[in-house]
Chains A and B, each alone.
Chain A
Amino acid sequence: MSIDAPQAASKRVQVVSGITVRLVGDSGDGMQLLGTQLTNTSALAGNDVATFPDFPAEIRAPRGTRAGVSGFQVQFASHEVHTPGDTLDTLVAMNPAALVTNLADLRAGGLIIVDEDSFEAKDLKLAALEKNPLDEETLTDKYRLAKVPITKLTRTAVHDLGLSPKEADRCRNFFAMGLVYWLYGRSMDTTMRFIASKFSKLPAVREANERALKAGWAFGETTELLDASYQVEPAKLAPGKYRNIMGNQALAWGLMAAAKLSDKDLFYGTYPITPASDILHELCRFKNFGVRTFQAEDEIAAVCSAIGAAYGGGMGVTCSSGPGIALKAEAMGLAVMLELPLIVIDVQRGGPSTGLPTKTEQADLLQVLYGRNGEAPIPVLAARSPGDCFDTAIEAWRIATRFMLPVVILSDGYIANGSEPWLIPDMNNIEKISIKHPGPRTEADPPFKPYSRDQLLSRPWAIPGTPGLMHRVGGLEKANGSGNVSYDAENHEMMVKLRAEKVANVASILPPQQVMGPKSGQLLVVSWGGTYGACHTAVQQAQSAGMSVAHCHLRHLNPFPANLGEILHSYEKVLVPELNLGQLRMLLRDKYLVNAMGLNKVKGKPFAVSELVSKIKEVCTASGNGRHA
C-alpha cells in the first residue's frame, strides 16, 4: 500500500451540482470530527454547505449497537443550499448498526462505503442482525456497494509506528476521510493542518493519522471498486470573505458583538444542558473580551445571576434548553416585573420532560410566550439558521435595552449544531446599541422616579453606585413612576396593561415583514426558526414548478411584525409547517382569524424538502375553498 502524496487523478471525473453525504459509525468512531472536516474543506473549496450532526443521547452507548450510532450529514453544492439534503448520495458506514439504521435515507443508485472488516459475526450480533447485510442481494441491486477493508488497510499504513492496536484502529476515520476526499476531489490540506495542530504533542499519533488519511486517498485512486470521482464547482455566493460557522458559535459571537456594540461587559449565567452547552464552552474562552461566564448551581441560579448582573448595569444573558427554561420561568417573570434588560436563550430539543435531548424540535414556542404566572409578556425572536444566530443575538439585545425588558431567543438543536458558510461582518459597519444610564442627582433635584416612562414606555436603567438614584426594585406590584410597592387595584390593572403595551410597542421599531414570492396568490407558507431552509427551498421548487406560492419566514414571534395580518390575508390559503403540533398556527389563527392549516412533524428530525413540496402541491391542487377547522 502506497502512502505517498496523491497523484493527479487518473480516473473519470464527473461534474455534479451537489452532493449529500452521511458519515455514520459508532459514537466513538470520530464521525463528528470527520463531518466537520469535510464541511470545512468543502466550504473552503467554495461550495455552499449545510450540515446536520445527529448524536445518540448516551455519551457512550455500548459499542457497535444501534443505540450508539452517531452520524453527520453534509450537503455541499455549487448552488445555494439551505438544508443538509433530503436523500443521501453517499453513505459511509463504519459498522453494521450504522449501515442498517441509515440505509433507508440513501437514494436508489447511491453509493455505500463500508468498513468490511467490521462486519464479523460479533459485530452483527451487537447490531442485533442475524444475517450479514452485505450479503443481501437487494443491497447490490439497489445501490452501489464499495466494501473496503478499512481496518486492515489502516493498520497496515501505521504498523511501524509503535501504536497499540486500539490506537491504530482509532485512525480508521481518517482513512475513511481520505477516501471520501478522493471521491469528491477535495484537498487534504485543511485536514492535514488540523491533524498537525491537534496532535502536535503526540508525534506518532499525528504521523499515523496523516498516513491513514493519505492511504484512504490512495486507495480511492487505485481501487477498482470506485470507477469515478466527482467534482462540485464553487457556488456563486454573495461576494465577500466567508468562514464556516455553527449555530451555537454564532450565538456566542453575536452576544459578544452585542456587548461590544453597547459598550457593556457580557455576563453569561448558565447551567450545562444539551444542546446549549457549547455556547458556554465558546464564551468561556473569551475572557479577554470582558466576558464573564458563570456556571451556576442550577438553572434558577443561572437566570437569577444574570438578572443580578443586569441590575448592576451589565449585559445579563442566560441560556438553556426546554427543561431549564421551565425552571427559569419564575425569574423571567421577575425580570418582566423589574423591567430590566435580559436575554434568555432557549436552544430547543425534543420534549416534554427530558424528551429527546439530542434531537431537534420547535415545541417551546408556547412555553416561552406563556409559561409564566400572571400576565407576563416577553418579546420572542427565533433564529433561522446557524449564521442568523449572530444577527438575532444583536437584535435581541437592541430590543431588551431599548425597552427595558427580558427577550427570548429561540434556537434549536438543528441550528445549534448545524453549520453554514458565513459572510464575515465588519464590526465597524454594524449599528451601535446606545444605552444611557441616568446620571447622579443631588437633593436639590426632583426625586428620582425609577419607573417613569419614555414615549415607548421604557423606563430609565439606573445603576447602583450612582449618587442620588438609590431605589428599590422587587417582584411586588409597584406604583408607576415611583416604583414603590402598591396594592392599589387600579394601578395594578394599569401596570399589567402598560407592560403588555410596552411589548406591543416593540413592533413599532421592527422592519416590515418580507415575503419571498408573489404578494398575493393561492398559498402562503409561514415558518419560523430552524425550518427556514427546508421551507425556503421547498417554496422555491414549487414556484419553479409553476405553483402560486410565497414564503413568509418570521424572526419575530412576539410581537408579530405590524404588517403580518395584511400579508396573511393576501393569499387564499396559509400553510404553517412546524416541528410541533401547531403552536404558531394556533397563534396566527387566534390573532388574525385566518384559517391557517398545519404540516406538523415531531420525530426529532428536521423537515425534508420533499415532504414540504408534496404538501404544497397537495394544497395548491386541491379544488374548492380552503378547509375549515
Chain B
Amino acid sequence: MSTSLPVLTANDFASDQEIRWCPGCGDYSILQQMKKMLPSLGLPLEQIVFVSGIGCSSRFPYYMNTYGMHSIHGRAPAFATGLKITRPELKVFVITGDGDSLSIGGNHFMHLLRRNVNLTLVLFNNRIYGLTKGQYSPTSPEGQVTKSTPLGALDHPLNPIKLALGAEATFIARSIDVHVKHLTETLHRAALHQGTAVVEVYQNCNVFNDGAFNYAQDKTTRADTTIELEHGKPLIFGKNRDKGIRLNGLTPEVVDLSTGKYSHDDLLFHDETADPALVNILARMRHPQFPEPIGVFRSVEQPMYDVQVNQQVESAIANRGAGDLNKLFNSGDTWQVG
C-alpha cells in the first residue's frame, strides 16, 4: 500500500516555542540546517523523535515540531537506546554537546557507539560550557583561559572523532555550523546511515568562546584550513586546490602540488570503509599544522543493537511459540492441595 505523504517544508518542523539561544549563536544555523534537511527524509513529523541531554544545544528538541525529550545531563544516549529498542521504527536524533557527551556522558557515548544503535547523534562542539557561563570543557585546548581556568586549562582535550573511532562507531563525520551546504549534506547522509551516526559540528559560542573555530569558519581562510573528505578521492585542499596530503609511512604530510614534484597519484585517497587505524590518521590532523578534515570520516555497515534485540524476540517467538504464562506457572514441580 502506498499512501502519499504530504510534502513537508523546513517550516513544518518548527515548534511554536520561542528560541532562547543567545543572538549570534552557532546553534541557530544547526537548527536551521536540520529543519531544511528533514523533509528530504520523507518521514511524517510523528515518526521523528529528538532526544537531548543538558546544555545550550540540548534545548534543541523544544524548537522542533516533532516528538522530543529534554532529558538529564549526559544521558540522552541511554534514553534513546531504550526508546529505539521499544520502537525501532522511529527515527531518533540525539542532540548533545561536548560537555554533555564527552564529560558527564562519556560512558554512555562510548556504549551507544559500540552497540551501534540505529540513530543519529549530533554533537555540538563549542569547546566551552555555555549554559553554566563559561567554564572550560573536555574539548577546550590546553592553556585556554576560562572562568574556571584563570591560569590556563591543564588537561589534554579529547578529540570526539578519535573517541568515536576508538569505540568503532560505524558512521563518523564532522561539519561546521556556518558551512550551511556542507552541514545539510552531512546531516542528510548521517540521517540515512543504518546504525549510530555521529556528526561533530564545530559550533561557535559567541558569548563565552567566540572565534574558537574562526580558522575553519572564515570564508577567506577555510579552503586552506580545512579539507573536505570525499570517498574515493585524493585529499586535496587550498584555495587553488594546489595542496594535498600524502602519507609518509604512517605520518601525514602536506605537499605542494604546484611544483610538479607530487601528483594526485601520490596523495592519500579517502576510503570511508578503511580500518579505524587509518582513519585515525585523518582524525589526528589538527589546525594549524594541518587542514582539519570535514565530511564523512567513516561509514560502514554493522549489525544494529536495537534491530538485533527485536530479532531475538521475534525468533524466540517463532521457535518456541508466543509465551503462555499459565503454562509457565504450571511447569516443573507442582502439587495439589485439597
Query: Which residues of A come within 8 Å of B, CB atoms?
Result: 40, 43-44, 46, 190, 234, 236-244, 253, 256-257, 260, 265, 267, 269, 286-292, 294, 296-298, 300-302, 304-314, 316, 330-331, 334, 338, 424-428, 463-476, 484-485
Contacts and interface: CB of A to CB of B under 8 A. Distances in A.
B330 interface: yes
Interface residues of B, number: 61
Nearest to B338: A239
Contacts of B316: 287-288
B39 to A, nearest CB: 15
Contact of B82 (A287, A312, A426): A312
A24 to B, nearest CB: 25
Interface in B287-338: 309-310, 312-313, 316-317, 319-323, 325-326, 328-330, 332-338
Contacts of A257: 325
B111 A465 contact: no
A351 B317 CA distance: 41
B293 to A, nearest CB: 29
A297 B85 contact: no
Interface stretch (B69-77, B174-182, B188-196): B69-77
Interface string B86-111: 11011000000000000000011011
B213 interface: no
Given A292-B313, A298-B107, A331-B75, A305 B319 contact: no
A256 B327 CA distance: 13
Given A239-B337, A331-B75, A465-B90, A309 B108 contact: no
Given A243-B333, A427-B326, A463-B87, 6 more contacts: A240-B337, A265-B86, A286-B323, A290-B317, A294-B81, A301-B107
A124 to B, nearest CB: 40
B286 to A, nearest CB: 29
B212 interface: no
B82 A294 contact: yes
A294 B78 CA distance: 11
A59 B254 CA distance: 57
B199 to A, nearest CB: 21
B9 interface: no
A237 B335 CA distance: 11
A292 B87 CA distance: 12
A306 B83 CA distance: 8
Main SS at interface, chain A: mixed
A260 B337 contact: no
A408 B162 CA distance: 40
Contacts, number: 210
Contacts of B326: 426-428
A413 B317 CA distance: 33
Contacts of A242: 334-337
A40 B110 CA distance: 45
B46 interface: yes
Most buried by A among B86, B320, B326: B86
B34 to A, nearest CB: 15
A474 B86 contact: no
B330 A241 contact: yes
A312 B86 contact: yes
A407 to B, nearest CB: 18
Nearest to A234: B337
A230 to B, nearest CB: 20
A473 B78 contact: no
Contacts of A466: 46
A307 B323 contact: no
A334 B111 contact: no
Contacts of B90: 312, 464-465
B44 to A, nearest CB: 7
Nearest to B89: A465
Nearest to B46: A467
A46 B44 contact: no
Contacts of B83: 308-309, 311-312, 464
Contacts of A253: 325, 328-329
The 8 residue pairs across chains A and B that have the minimum distance between CB atoms: A239-B338, A474-B70, A308-B82, A305-B82, A289-B323, A304-B78, A287-B316, A308-B79
Given A294-B81, A301-B108, A468 B329 contact: no
Given A294-B81, A308-B81, A470 B337 contact: no
A311 B65 CA distance: 17
Contacts of B336: 240-242
A470 B111 contact: no
A371 to B, nearest CB: 16
B191 to A, nearest CB: 17
Given A292-B86, A308-B81, A312-B90, A475 B71 contact: yes
Given A297-B108, A308-B86, A473 B81 contact: no
A288 B319 contact: yes
Nearest to A194: B333
B112 to A, nearest CB: 9
Interface string B53-70: 010000001101111111
A336 to B, nearest CB: 12
A311 B87 CA distance: 10
Contacts of A260: 325
A330 B54 CA distance: 13
Given A309-B86, A312-B83, A470-B46, A241 B325 contact: no
Contacts of B128: none
B45 interface: yes
Contact of A301 (B49, B111, B309, B319): B111
A583 to B, nearest CB: 27
Contacts of A330: 72
A304 B89 contact: no
B78 A300 contact: yes
A256 to B, nearest CB: 6
A311 B78 CA distance: 13
Given A425-B329, A484-B17, A267 B86 contact: yes
A238 B90 CA distance: 49
B245 interface: no
B45 to A, nearest CB: 5
Contacts of B320: 288
Contacts of A292: 85-86, 309-310, 313
